[in-house]
Amino acid sequence: MDRFDNIPEIALDWHRAGKGAVLATVVETWGSAPRRVGSQLAISSEGEIEGSVSGGCVEGAVVVEALEALEDGKARMLEYGISDGDAFAVGLACGGTIRVYVEPIGAVLPEAMLADLVAARAARRAMAYVVDVDKNTRTLTDQGHSERFRMDRSGFEADGQTFVAIHNPPLRMLIVGAVHIAQALVPMARLAGYDPTLIDPRDSFGSEARFPGETILNDWPDEGVSAYGLDARTALVLLTHDPKLDDPALEQALRSDVFYIGALGSTRTHAKRVERFQAKGFTEAEIAQIHGPVGLDIGAASPAEIALSIMAECTAVLRQGRILGAV
């Protein structure tokens, strides 16, 4: 797990170890900011820090405020405005403003609530931590906020006082077909924050030699997909353009919550795919979830360029909800 993605877990561990801990969360930004809304920094009473809310002098100032909050047991809202001239020195690309909400664990953020959040994250259950910063009340829920969950977007509601911190499960990418495109796609996906897994029953394709250190399931795709599980934080990419390998996995994906389905093949290949699934009884809306031919049309030719086009399309769907290349 990336060190910026396990901040609640670290804060809980510090608190339970008797060190005392504070969570600082970016709740609003204007202008330039290197960390998005929802980013967190954990601070212990011993001055240990993990994560990031900005960098440089801003981060140092947040730590000082956090230690004071730990002493008085109260939440506090911090705001830092940075001029263009001073921005680089404090970790901002150019001038901007950030607001950071500081919560001591126990005194403000109940230990039990943080423990429930950590348990949900471990179980891959999406959770929203909702704080009314004026009333100093907080709840944990997996209901509502569907658009925020889908877009992975924390932020204030329209009332300007209710902050919703989205804690989605880590992104995963399930790739059917350990082919040459997958050799380029796997490292790109990992760099983009995905946990990639390969499925290919052909040992000569899905081998440690071709994908060193990667998770490879040498199962038939339908068995591999069933064992892996599909959820709203999973992207499925089909790279074999062989119906007997792709179609069983695709059948499961079309009736799941996966946020992206991409299938390799020409326009003609995809038209035949559509015909097959119409014959299987899938609806037009279900079939329209398939992005085929896979990837943005950037004129990609090499395996690396095709992999790049796939990551670009997957990112567009995740962050913008755009339906690209659908039937």
pLDDT in tens, 152-162: 889 999 999 99
101 and 177, same structural domain?
no
**Residue 136: is its pLDDT beyond 90?**
yes
**In the predicted structure, residue 223 carries a pLDDT above the cut 90:** no
Q: Contact at 8 Å (CB) between 130 and 139? A: yes
8 Å CB contact between 118 and 105 = no
Q: What is the pLDDT of residue 112?
A: 97
Query: Is position 223 within any domain?
Result: yes
Q: Does any domain span residue 284?
A: yes
Q: What is the predicted pLDDT for the residue at 53?
A: 85
End-of-domain residue from the set 122, 153, 182: 122
Strand, coil or helix: what is 84?
A: helix
User: Over 80: is that where the pLDDT of 81 sits?
Assistant: no
The pLDDT assigned to 2 comes to: 43
Q: Which two tokens stand for residue 175?
A: 């790739």
CATH of the domain at 226: 3.40.50.720
- Do the Cβ atoms of 176 and 239 come closer than 8 Å? yes
Rounded mean pLDDT of 227-231?
86
Strands 96-104 and 21-31: antiparallel
Nearest to 246 by CA among 222, 210, 218, 214: 222
Q: Does one domain contain both 187 and 263? A: yes
- Residue 191 sits in which domain range? 171-320
* Residues 223 and 295 occupy one common structural domain: yes
- 177 and 115 share a domain? no
**258 part of a folded domain:** yes
Q: Is a pLDDT exceeding 90 seen at residue 280?
A: yes
Q: Which H or E element spans position 311?
A: helix 303-320
- As for how many domains the chain has, the answer is 2
For the chain, give the mean pLDDT.
Answer: 89
**Is the distance from CB of 310 to CB of 185 less than 8 angstroms?**
yes
- Measured distance CA(215)–CA(195) in Å, rounded: 9
**Residue 199: CB partners within 8 Å, gap ≥ 6?**
174, 175, 176, 177, 178, 206, 216, 217, 219, 221, 224, 225, 228, 249
Q: What is the DSSP letter of 47?
A: S
Residues 184 and 105 grouped into a single domain: no
